[in-house]
Amino acid sequence: MCSNPNRSEFQLEDRWRPGLVLGIESSCDETAAAILSYEGEVLSNVVSSQVAVHEKFGGVVPELAARAHLGKIDMVVREALATAQVSKHTLGAIAVTQGPGLAGALLVGVNYAKALSYGLGIPIIGVNHLQGHIASAWLADPMFPLSCIVLVVSGGHTHLYRHEVGGRCILLGRTRDDAAGEAFDKGAQMLGLGYPGGPVIDRIARSGDLQVFRFPRFHRAKNSLEFSFSGLKTALLYKLRELGGPLRSQQTADLAAGYQEAIVQVLAAKAFAALRQSNLTALAVVGGVSANSRLRIVLSEHAVREGIRLSLPPIEYCTDNAAMIASAGRQLLMNGERPHADLDISPAERFVTILDENEQISVSQRDKEKTNS
Tell me the C-alpha to C-alpha distance, in Å, between residue 276 and each of 174, 176, 303, 358.
Answer: 17, 22, 12, 21
Strands 124-128 and 148-154, how do they pair?
Answer: unpaired
Of 27-36, 49-58, 300-309, 347-356, where does mean pLDDT reach its minimum?
A: 347-356
Residues 260 and 297 in one domain: yes
Q: Are residues 178 and 205 in the same domain?
A: yes
Look up the domain containing 236 and give its range.
146-312
Residue 67's SS3 state is helix
pTM for this structure? Answer: 0.85
Query: Is the domain of 224 the same as that of 86?
Result: no
User: Checking DSSP bridges between strand 169-174 and strand 157-163, what pairing results, if any?
Assistant: antiparallel
Q: In this structure, are 273 and 326 located in the same domain?
A: no
Q: Does position 84 have pLDDT exceeding 80, yes or no?
A: yes
Residues 172 and 278 in one domain: yes
Q: Residues 114-120: contacts with CB within 8 Å, 24+ apart? A: 114/1, 114/341, 114/343, 115/1, 116/22, 116/77, 116/88, 117/13, 117/341, 118/1, 118/12, 118/13, 118/341, 120/88, 120/89, 120/91
Instruction: Check whether residue 44 and residue 25 sit in a common domain.
Output: yes
Q: What is the pLDDT of residues 158-189, one digit of tens each?
A: 999 999 998 889 999 999 999 999 999 999 99
In terms of domains, do 226 and 265 share one? yes
What pLDDT is stored for residue 41 in this prediction? 93
Residue where a domain terminates, one of 262, 288, 312:
312
Are residues 176 and 119 located together in one domain of the fold?
Answer: no
| CA 199 to chain CA mean position, Å | 15
pLDDT of residue 113: 97
Mark whether 120 and 185 lie in a shared domain: no
Given a cut of 50, whether residue 358 has pLDDT beyond it is: no
Q: Are residues 128 and 174 in the same domain?
A: no
Instruction: Give the total number of structural domains in the chain.
Output: 2
The rounded distance, in Å, linking the Cα atoms of 162 and 232 is 27
Tell me: the pLDDT tens digits for 329-343? 999 998 888 887 788
Report the CATH number that the domain containing residue 274 is assigned in CATH.
3.30.420.40
Is the domain of 155 the same as that of 289?
Answer: yes
